[in-house]
Amino acid sequence: MNDKQASQINITLGTAGHIDHGKTALIRLLTGCETDRLKQEKERGMSIELGFAPCRLGDLEVGIVDVPGHENFIKTMVAGASGIDGVIFVVAADDSIMPQTREHLNILTLLGVKHGMVALTKTDIVSPERVEQVISELKDYLKDTFLAGADICPMSNITGDGFDFFYDSLKSLIKSIEPKSTEGVFRQPVEKFFSVKGFGNVISGIPVSGSARVGDEVTLLPKGTKSRIKAIQVYGRDDDTVRSGQCAALNLPQLDFNDIERGNVLTKGEYFEPSEWFLCSLKILNLDGLVVKHGKRMKFHTGTSEVTAKIYLLEDTVALAGQEVFVQLLADQPIVAGPNDRFILRSTGPVQTVGGGTVIEPLPKKLKRSRISSIDAIKCWANAVCENRSFIEYCLKDDPWSVLSIRQIALRTKLEPDSVKNILARFVESNTVIQVANEQYLHAQVYNDVLEYIYGKLEVFHKQMPDRLGMERDLLLQQSDLEKTLFDAVVKLAISEGKLLLKNQLFALTSHQEQYDPAQQALLDKVEAVYKDNLFSPPNPDDIRSMVNASQSEYDKTIAILTEQKIIIEVERKVYFHSEAIEEAKRRIIDHVNGEGQGRLESVKMKYLLDTTRKYALPILDYMDKIGVTRRSGNTRFLK
């Protein structure tokens, strides 16, 4: 089988273990690649930088990252291990379990690595009894870790003895690992970078999400400089696409080489931006005497970046060994991290790994106490970011109440819009989410909560003003203090579902019925009767007030109620007609235009149609223009 026939899968393994336990030699035996390439590494026989090698396993090919084992290069080990899916944990039979054996295992655990195997090297220089002894020690040491029950493969990198068992175990390990999802926005932390004559800048690393193609524009953060991908190599061979979980090198000639640093991030679009504040879930290692104090400064490793950060505990001033706590981290310089990214904390003196966990979300600024008053609320937040569906639902339920667009959700969840749209469609089918407009969505729980809130405002209004038909839209919006888009979406949906009434552009509860005392009801009936008995020639207001024997304030209130209920219509300022007059006038105009008017109505004809004076005919005709029954051209009207 030639190289091109090997199926590249987006899985990357890493080595881990104490210095001089044979990690690099094992990769050389397995792949034929020499990952120690620096002159200093070859002279000292010690890995200093990360090494990358393609690993062919039958018809599959994966990537392997070789990490340094020396305690002085733990930050490099963390950078390499941050993108791996499984580990080849290397222990030498002559040394057995050593300090970096323990620290590397702690780091792998904190980084969330779930899969692995053990290579017990240097069996050629110890007795069989020593091999069995170390195997026993390892089984006991690993029994409560993610490597419990993992294959332990005794072997020699020099003679090759035991390699077959190791190789078979490695193939089984690969089969047990689910390749990384390619969902999400492309993001690749910078692990190594260099310049190639004739090509320019090359950045290598392992993308943690998404995919990118030759020709795509990417942004280098935190600098914000952009370049198009000129070429891609995956596992050392040319390709047109790079996917999450693959060891890849991208040719980016438009970047300034001096702008590139390990810890930078390549990404597409505007989904990520550098941040200094991060809300995190922190697991403190269960080591004797280990304490994390509020305000303490530590080394914060995430992706391939390492910065100093101040720790702000959210529940107490001190956190002890073995505890899991929520913290806010303030980095001393902006870095890029996304929801659910893993991180490691290391003390600055004495230098040791203290703990690690997951980034819940980067923050634009420090959270106020009002936002973190409930630890249970933060737990819900932390659980939500672990899975795309739950994170999208959380965004829709998150405070403040709001209607969200697909773009807004995509930017927060770091997912491509099409992925967000597909998930939302399933939520809509299950009635969990409501689509209120094109690409605008509202969570059903938020809808119900907001509707209950509006109900409360209307109940107070109806109680205070039982004689009113309902509440004006602007007043209800002002008193509810809701975001306009949310308010409009909720009331529109509630009206369509019959959960809210809209009468004459006034909002009311479905249970509301206007209530008047007997005197007010009698006055309403009298005033309406005057207008009804004089459809096209109503008396002037002062005459009507005298006819019904009402004070000015009583009459004004009565007119306001009748107008609100659309029983009488104000066609122009202080000129009123009964609603039946307006409907009858509309009928007569339409009949005339469609009949003897031959498609038109001259203004002078209006008073004859209504058998009234010009004083009343023209205001009614102008009103017909206003409500869209007629269209005016000079002194002639046409049906609109």
C-beta atoms surrounding 464 within 10 Å: 8
- Which residue, among 259, 251, 263, 274, has the nearest Cα to 301 in the 3D structure? 263
| CA atoms in the 13 A half-sphere facing the CB of 214 | 9
Q: What is the mean pLDDT of residues 232-249?
A: 89
Token duo for residue 370: 């009002």
Give residue 379's pLDDT: 93
Query: Could you give the strand order of the β-sheet that contains 231-234, starting from the edge strand earlier in sequence?
Result: 192-196, 200-205, 248-251, 231-234, 237-239
- Which residue, among 565, 605, 555, has the nearest Cα to 585 in the 3D structure? 605
pLDDT digits (tens, 9 = 90+) for 34-62: 543 433 433 334 333 456 676 777 777 77
Amino acid identity, position 307 = V
d(CA 252, CA 195): 10
The DSSP call for residue 268 is: -
Give residue 1's pLDDT: 33
d(CA 541, CA 561): 15
Token duo for residue 239: 């390709």
- Are 336 and 304 spatial neighbours (Cβ–Cβ below 8 Å)? no
d(CA 146, CA 380): 25
Amino acid identity, position 298 = M
d(CA 361, CA 196): 37
Give residue 296's pLDDT: 95
Minimum mean pLDDT among 62-71, 305-314, 350-359: which range? 62-71
Alpha helices for 507-565 (secondary structure H): 518-533, 541-548, 552-564
In 3-state terms, what secondary structure has residue 347? strand
Q: What is the mean pLDDT of residues 483-502?
A: 94
Minimum mean pLDDT among 359-363, 396-400, 405-409, 480-484: which range? 396-400
Q: How far apart are the first and last CA of the chain?
A: 78
d(CA 256, CA 488): 49
More confident residue, 562 or 77: 562
d(CA 50, CA 55): 16
pLDDT digits (tens, 9 = 90+) for 596-639: 989 999 999 999 999 999 999 999 999 999 999 999 999 999 99
pLDDT digits (tens, 9 = 90+) for 448-485: 999 999 999 999 999 998 888 889 999 999 999 999 99
Give residue 187's pLDDT: 95
Q: Can the peptide bond before residue 207 be classed as cis, meaning omega within 30 degrees of 0?
A: no
- Which residue, among 295, 286, 284, 290, has the nearest Cα to 317 in the 3D structure? 295
| Burial status of residue 452 (CB atoms within 10 A of its CB: 0-12, 13-18, 19 or more) | exposed
Token duo for residue 467: 């004689």
pLDDT at 83 over 90: no
- Mean per-residue pLDDT of the chain: 89
d(CA 221, CA 265): 5
Alpha helices for 87-193 (secondary structure H): 99-110, 128-142, 163-176
d(CA 357, CA 152): 27
The DSSP call for residue 535 is: S
- Which residue, among 139, 143, 146, 104, has the nearest Cα to 120 in the 3D structure? 139
- Are 267 and 208 spatial neighbours (Cβ–Cβ below 8 Å)? no
CA 378 to chain centre: 16
pLDDT digits (tens, 9 = 90+) for 106-119: 989 999 999 999 99
Radius of gyration of the chain (CA): 37
Token duo for residue 225: 């400089």
CA 603 to chain centre: 61
Token duo for residue 95: 């040394």
Phi, psi of 87 (to 5 degrees): -130, 140
Give residue 52's pLDDT: 64
Query: Could you give the strand order of the β-sheet that contains 265-267, starting from the edge strand earlier in sequence?
Result: 187-189, 265-267, 217-221, 225-228
Give residue 42's pLDDT: 39
| Burial status of residue 144 (CB atoms within 10 A of its CB: 0-12, 13-18, 19 or more) | exposed
Confidence grade of residue 28 (pLDDT, cut at 50, 70, 90): confident
- Which residue, among 345, 348, 351, 208, has the nearest Cα to 266 in the 3D structure? 208
- Which residue, among 184, 379, 340, has the nearest Cα to 269 in the 3D structure? 184
Q: Can the peptide bond before residue 222 be classed as cis, meaning omega within 30 degrees of 0?
A: yes
Amino acid identity, position 468 = R
Token duo for residue 30: 């397995």
The DSSP call for residue 145 is: S
The whole-model pTM stands at: 0.80
C-beta atoms surrounding 39 within 10 Å: 8
Token duo for residue 536: 């096209």
pLDDT at 73 over 60: no
Minimum mean pLDDT among 331-335, 470-474, 556-560: which range? 556-560
Q: What is the mean pLDDT of residues 290-298?
A: 94
Query: For every residue of 294-316, which 3-state class applies, written as one string?
Result: CCCEEEEEECCEEEEEEEEECCC
d(CA 604, CA 587): 18
d(CA 15, CA 204): 18
Query: For every residue of 199-220, which 3-state class applies, written as one string?
Result: CEEEEEECCCECEEECCCEEEE
Question: Could you identify the residue written with the tokens 């068992």?
Answer: 165
Q: Can the peptide bond before residue 364 be classed as cis, meaning omega within 30 degrees of 0?
A: no
Query: Residue 546: which residues within 8 A CB-CB, separation 6 or more?
Result: none
- Are 233 and 266 spatial neighbours (Cβ–Cβ below 8 Å)? no
Give residue 24's pLDDT: 84
pLDDT at 350 over 90: no
